[in-house]
Amino acid sequence: DAKTTQPNSMESNEEEPVHLPCNHSTISGTDYIHWYRQLPSQGPEYVIHGLTSNVNNRMASLAIAEDRKSSTLILHRATLRDAAVYYCILRDENSGGSNYKLTFGKGTLLTVNP
């Protein structure tokens, strides 16, 4: 899987928007961008994924740069419950063979201040 780069940590205030960046300059044309988050003492949970177009769901929005070399996960109004480690992962969903694992990096630790 192609490599991603994320800041180690970010801080936000409750009820303010949060923009979590991810750089993936070596992304290939068939790599999907996935975001997962891991709350304290829990397993990771899926947040959102996309390929080229921006995506919205009930949890967040994903803004993908036109050249796809970077993306931003947007939490529109941060809550205390959003404090977690956020992982940006690339996966070639069209790959055959055995390359089906999700490779997690270190992620971004998001702290939300009340």
Partner 1 sequence: GAGVSQSPSNKVTEKGKDVELRCDPISGHTALYWYRQSLGQGLEFLIYFQGNSAPDKSGLPSDRFSAERTGGSVSTLTIQRTQQEDSAVYLCASRERLVNTEAFFGQGTRLTVV
**Contact footprint for partner 1 (CB under 8 A):** 32, 36, 42-46, 49, 87, 93-94, 97-107
Which of 37, 15, 33 shows the shortest CA–CA distance to 23?
A: 33
The distance of closest approach from Cβ of residue 6 to partner 1 in the complex, given in angstroms and rounded to an integer, is 11
Complex with partner 1: residue 7 or 14, whichever CB lies closer? 7
Burial class (CB in 10 A: 0-12, 13-18, 19+), 98: exposed
Residue 34 Cβ, how far from partner 1 at the closest point, in Å? 8
36 or 90: CB nearest partner 1: 36
Nearest to 32 by CA among 83, 99, 97: 99
